[in-house]
Amino acid sequence: MKKKVAIIGVTGSVGQEFVVSLNNHPWFEIVQIAASNKSAGKKYLESIKDAGSGIINWHPASPIPEYVKDMTVDKVEDIKIDNIDLVFSSIESEAAREIESKFAKFVPVISTSSAYRYDEDVPILIPGINDEHVDLIDVQKKNRNWNGFVAPIPNCTTTGLAITLKPLYEQFGTNKVIMTSMQAISGAGRTPGVPAMDITDNIIPYIPNEEKKVRIETAKILGKINEGKINNANIKISCTCTRVPVIDGHTESVSIETSKPIDPTLVKKSYEEYFNDLNILSLPSAPPKYYEIHDEPTRPQPRIDREINDGMTTSIGRLEKEIIFDHGIKYVLFSHNKKMGSAKGAILLAELLYKKGKI
């Protein structure tokens, strides 16, 4: 029997991707959807219409699935907890802190928000990258006396960085990372979102709180778990996060200093070996390839690469020795912020936790 799930924040950028990626899911069935009071009581199709213009604000690349159009959007407090096994939460982080804990007392909550990411007993999980951190969930349940738990995925800019750093960090040692991001508009969500007048023909060189999130989250994800605690990776990360006029997908220019000698051939081999050892590839939302390495110097590009394996593959190009370090490598990565970086990545995490018997 399928697990019954509720999506909260179902009208937003990430919520809409949950609706798409859970359509006909083999293990999960959406039984309730919720958003803020503004949307509550409306049919889904009505709830995503702009109140002033009546324009349907639908962001995914695929059409609105039929099954959801006539579902009624509930208030969060009207979710019938006895009728669900799992919650996917994609609400903005301030509201998420209180709301997610109300559910986590009873059922697992897989969250795309940052509300709990920085708590000591909460792992930030990327399937295939730090699966051993799943053990922290039992610590969290015990600490808080919860039957459920909160399992967040990272910020969408951290995701591509952590996925590409992991094999290199393990094999070559990574001391310093310099990263400049070129982040998509959809990463800012719908409310308030980024006004077209501000982003069209423009680059905004600052995204509030983003750089700190990337620094803290990357060190936590690459950290080691020991006796119920994560010891963060000892790695210095400097980042500059910018917003660019791209709809979906974050591009990041990365330079790293390593302890051991490194070059593009060794890096390619490292990704290949890491991929061959991954044991999450049988999960329904896992891509057939985790890494796509491009030799063509004009890749990756958002428009060409965002749909590869339904946005679940991280593309890497421009692999070159980084000459400012004794040992170092530089590359450009592309990661889909709403697929691997949020909704579908969160579903992949739920699948992993289901397989591990946590859901």
Residue 15 interacts with ligand NAP (CB under 6 A)? Answer: yes
Q: How far apart are CA 250 and CA 185, in angstroms?
A: 9
Cα–Cα distances in angstroms (integers) from residue 213 to residues 45, 236, 239, 274, 339, in the given order: 34, 13, 10, 26, 19
> Is 156 annotated in the active site?
yes
At closest approach, how far in Å is the CB of 164 from ligand NAP?
17
Q: Which of 59, 156, 241, 336 is catalytic?
A: 156
Residue 13 interacts with ligand NAP (CB under 6 A)? Answer: yes
Stretch that binds ligand NAP, among 101-109, 228-236, 258-266, 334-342 (CB under 6 A): 334-342
74 phi-psi bin (left φ>0, alpha ψ -120 to 50, beta other): beta
Residue 148 interacts with ligand NAP (CB under 6 A)? Answer: no
Q: How far apart are CA 236 and CA 214, in angstroms?
A: 11
Residue 189 interacts with ligand NAP (CB under 6 A)? Answer: yes
User: What ranges in 154-284 are assigned the alpha helix state H?
Assistant: 156-172, 196-199, 210-221, 264-277
Contact 33, 114 (CB under 8 A): no
Report the site for ligand NAP in 61-80 (rule: CB under 6 A).
76
Residue 9 interacts with ligand NAP (CB under 6 A)? Answer: yes
Contact 341, 335 (CB under 8 A): yes
Nearer to ligand NAP, 318 or 339 (CB): 339
Report the site for ligand NAP in 93-122 (rule: CB under 6 A).
93, 95-96, 112-114
Residue 32 interacts with ligand NAP (CB under 6 A)? Answer: no
Residue 12 interacts with ligand NAP (CB under 6 A)? Answer: yes
Contact 134, 353 (CB under 8 A): yes
Site string for ligand NAP, 151-170 (x = CB under 6 A): -----x--------------
Q: How far apart are CA 48 and CA 239, in angstroms?
A: 34
Which position's Cβ is nearest ligand NAP? 12
Smallest CA-to-CA distance from 10 within 70, 101, 116, 88 is with 88
Residue 314 interacts with ligand NAP (CB under 6 A)? Answer: no
Phi, psi (deg, nearest 5) at residue 93? -65, -35
Site string for ligand NAP, 265-284 (x = CB under 6 A): --------------------
DSSP symbols for 81-106: GGG-SEEEE-S-HHHHHHHHHHHHTT
Residue 186 interacts with ligand NAP (CB under 6 A)? Answer: yes
Nearer to ligand NAP, 183 or 315 (CB): 183
| Residues that contact ligand NAP, how many (by CB under 6 A) | 32
Among 21, 32, 39, 251, binds ligand NAP (CB under 6 A): 39
Among 108, 167, 187, 249, binds ligand NAP (CB under 6 A): 187
Residue 342 interacts with ligand NAP (CB under 6 A)? Answer: yes
Query: Residue 174 is encoded by which pair of tokens?
Result: 């990574």
Among 14, 22, 139, 359, binds ligand NAP (CB under 6 A): 14
Q: How far apart are CA 40 and CA 337, in angstroms?
A: 26
Residues β-bridged to residue 226: 229
Residue 181 interacts with ligand NAP (CB under 6 A)? Answer: no
Q: How far apart are CA 247 and CA 55, in angstroms?
A: 18
- Any idea what the Cα angle at residue 308 is, between residues 305 and 313, rounded to 5°? 95
Stretch that binds ligand NAP, among 100-108, 132-140, 160-168, 183-191 (CB under 6 A): 183-191
Q: Which residues bind ligand NAP (CB under 6 A)?
A: 8-15, 35-36, 38-39, 76, 90-93, 95-96, 112-114, 156, 186-187, 189-191, 337-338, 341-342
Would you name the residues annotated as active-site residues? 156, 250
